[in-house]
Amino acid sequence: MESNAVVWFRKGLRIHDNPALDYACRGSSHIFPVFVLDPRYLHPDPSAFSLGSARAGLNRIRFLLDCLLDLDSSLRNLGSRLLVLKGHPEPASVICQILKDWNIQKLCYEFDTEPYGQARDRQVTDFASQHGIEVFSPVSHTLFDPAEVIKKNGGRPPLTYQSFVALAGKPPDPLAKTYSELPPVGNVGNVELLNIPTIEELGYKDIEQEEFSPFGGGESEALRRLKEVLKDKEWVANFEKPKGDPSAFWKPATTVLSPYLKFGCLSSRYFYHCLHNVYLTVGKHTSPPVSLVGQLLWREFFYTVAFGTPNFDQMRGNKICKQIPWKDDDKLLVAWREGRTGYPWIDAIMIQLKKWGWMHHLARHSVACFLTRGDLFIHWEKGRDVFERLLIDSDWAINNGNWLWLSCSAFFYQYHRIYSPISFGRKYDPDGKYIRHFLPVLKDMPNEYIYEPWTAPLSIQKKANCIIGKDYPRPVVVHDKASKECRKKMGEAYGKVGSVEEEDNVAASESTAMQKRKRRT
């Protein structure tokens, strides 16, 4: 008797270490590898502040299309293909329809922890159980099952990294299975199959974006990048998160594997396994939380807390989030979002985000701090929305977790520690090469003024062909004054009545101690 299985790809856009694909192949005469185009993520939204859909900017949409082309190519090499379907009215109903039309006995897909994915999948599993269809939904986007970690912790998510690591233990090994061929695709009947669309076919015409992300999507590219990273065993062994140059852009000071993990082009278990093998080879290496394995565990920590915390993506109704009276200022928000704050370090980062859909983690820290508790005192949810739209590696749990952290709303509470929009970038890039690349209007500004161009005499500004207030904006706030005001407001929100001067003294002493530590290393 024939047995038909559907592999429903959403994330997990890969062949390697794919338990859903592996299970679908077992005992099946035919498998139907399916991807449903979700209009929520792909259809143009003319009202959005940048090119893209209601949920994603153009860079991330392009990255996803790369992933689908690569996955289809890999499937074709194994005698199969990717069946692309229109997600109208929405993906869940499309999946339910094909389960019936194609006489499916087995539905396999990777478990999704996000609220949107959970609601969508419940609809499908309810339909499947009513029609006697077996559902296999393994946890393979993360190293650990968040529900299991929460269960070990008495039904509550662990709220510190250390407690999470102690509970989680060692992750399972990746599947070692490789394929020479897959069961063939069965009869699809009258179901309309689509080609993987181009950007233009999705409705994005007359694109005026000057520059696109230099990072291409797909499993093949993910594995190529991983191989390059692993070649330098010493770099892998000595990687330390707080270090690294956020201004390095042509050769970033990190792996740039986050978008591939986000889309599941790279298995986190396989990545962990490869890193562990390097550590065994070299002997001495850094450890969590600062090592590369430590970064994978941070990802797991945020996934687990997000999965176990209702309303994790907002301040209201979120029991782990401090209730802070952020101000509402659309003019300042737009200046930050569009790279027009008048602080070149901040603006260059936001332009890189807009053009590339990616920036170094310390660059993200700088602009997130500036928007929230550092200078502008604008709600972290507003910044989260911008990152969620523009980042190619935008990940619901990690993006929200990082904004909660960097705004001192949860996890991290030393609100007096503020990233300077002037001295922090200068420490890494005194010549301002990063700024000159992403803000060419400042390319001829002398080094001494590149981080504070408003302090340049008018004669220097004229010589640099950049008049402040005309060619490049004046600062939207005075940093010293704004940061003092932010610390005062944060202290009030925390219920602390200490003076701003006391906070300044703490910040100054911590800064001095940090400089001494840096000199020692």
pLDDT (average), residues 429-448? 98
Q: What is the pLDDT of residue 457?
A: 98
pLDDT band at 506 (very low <50, low <70, confident <90, very high): very low
What is the third-level CATH fold of 142-173+220-308? 1.25.40
User: Which of these ranges, 119-133, 286-300, 495-509, has the smallest mean pLDDT?
Assistant: 495-509
- Please say if the pLDDT value at position 521 is more than 80: no
∠ CA 330-336-339, nearest 5°, is 135
Do residues 259 and 393 touch, judged by C-beta distance below 8 A? yes
What share of the chain has pLDDT > 70, as a percent?
Answer: 94
What is the third-level CATH fold of 330-520? DNA Cyclobutane Dipyrimidine Photolyase, subunit A; domain 3 (1.10.579)
Q: What is the pLDDT of residue 199?
A: 92
pLDDT digits (tens, 9 = 90+) for 400-409: 999 999 999 9
Residue 9 CA to residue 23 CA, distance in Å, equals 14
pLDDT digits (tens, 9 = 90+) for 457-493: 999 999 999 999 999 999 999 999 999 999 999 999 9
In the block, which residue shows the tokens 């194609």? Answer: 102
Residue 366 CA to residue 345 CA, distance in Å, equals 9
Q: What is the pLDDT of residue 210?
A: 63
Do residues 472 and 439 touch, judged by C-beta distance below 8 A? yes
CATH architecture, domain defined by 4-139: 3-Layer(aba) Sandwich (3.40)
pLDDT band at 496 (very low <50, low <70, confident <90, very high): low
Q: Does residue 117 sit in helix, strand or coil?
A: helix
pLDDT digits (tens, 9 = 90+) for 290-299: 999 999 999 9
pLDDT (average), residues 330-349? 98
- Please say if the pLDDT value at position 37 is more than 70: yes
- Please say if the pLDDT value at position 500 is more than 80: no
Residue 198 CA to residue 37 CA, distance in Å, equals 12
User: Which of these ranges, 93-107, 108-122, 205-219, 360-374, has the smallest mean pLDDT?
Assistant: 205-219
Over the range 83-96, which residues count as b (16 or more CB within 10 Å of their CB) and which as e?
A: bbbebeeebbebbb
Distance of CA 225 to the CA centre of its chain: 17
* pTM reported for the whole predicted model: 0.93
pLDDT digits (tens, 9 = 90+) for 306-330: 999 999 999 999 999 999 999 999 9
- Please say if the pLDDT value at position 118 is more than 50: yes
- Please say if the pLDDT value at position 206 is more than 80: no
What share of the chain has pLDDT > 90, as a percent?
Answer: 91
pLDDT digits (tens, 9 = 90+) for 68-112: 999 999 999 999 999 999 998 899 999 999 999 999 999 999 999
pLDDT (average), residues 16-43? 97
- Please say if the pLDDT value at position 205 is more than 90: no
- Please say if the pLDDT value at position 513 is more than 80: no
Answer whether the bond into residue 473 is a cis peptide, omega within 30°: no
Spell out the domain ranges in the chain. 4-139, 142-173+220-308, 330-520
Q: What is the pLDDT of residue 243?
A: 81
pLDDT band at 1 (very low <50, low <70, confident <90, very high): confident
Q: What is the pLDDT of residue 517?
A: 36
- Please say if the pLDDT value at position 501 is more than 60: no
Q: What is the pLDDT of residue 74?
A: 98
Q: What is the pLDDT of residue 520?
A: 38
Average pLDDT of the chain to the nearest whole number: 93
pLDDT band at 283 (very low <50, low <70, confident <90, very high): confident
Find the DSSP H helices in 109-257: 115-130, 146-152, 161-168, 219-231, 233-238
What lies within 8 Å, CB to CB, of 82 at 6+ separation is 9, 33, 34, 35, 68, 71, 72, 75, 196
Q: What is the pLDDT of residue 503?
A: 40
- Please say if the pLDDT value at position 378 is more than 90: yes
